[in-house]
Amino acid sequence: MLAFSLGYLQTVCGVNSSPRPEAARRVRVSGRVQGVYFRASTAERAIALSLRGFAENCADGSVLVLAAGAPAALEQLIAWLHRGPPMARVASVEVESIDPAAFDWPAGFLQQ
């Protein structure tokens, strides 16, 4: 019963109990990337690529994206992040490989 309860709690809190993703990236996107539907568009693109993670606005005006999944899907997302949605003006994209086991990834892709 305890195992079921813990599994239920993880599901309710948005933590995915499926196997760890193959790869993960931390990406910081700078430029005109806030107030232009960047996080929502990133989430839509990531979900279409079956990636897990999140996108959040940072105090310095950039957007931080943590994404995990298949390496090819991550590369497609990163290529898209260099352009972003139509109203965005991306000035720079910093990409860092991270250990996918270092996080409890959400079941999908979140905007924070």
* 14-60: pLDDT as tens digits: 454 567 889 999 999 999 999 999 999 999 999 999 999 999 999 99
Rounded to a whole number of angstroms, the distance between the first and last alpha carbons of the chain is 33
The pTM score is 0.82
The length of the chain in residues reads 112
Domain ranges of the chain: 20-111
Q: What is the pLDDT of residues 68-108, one digit of tens each?
A: 999 999 999 999 999 999 999 999 999 999 999 988 999 89
Q: What are phi and psi of 8, to 5 degrees?
A: -65, -45
Taking the domain 20-111, which CATH number applies?
3.30.70.100
Residues marked active site are found at: 39, 57
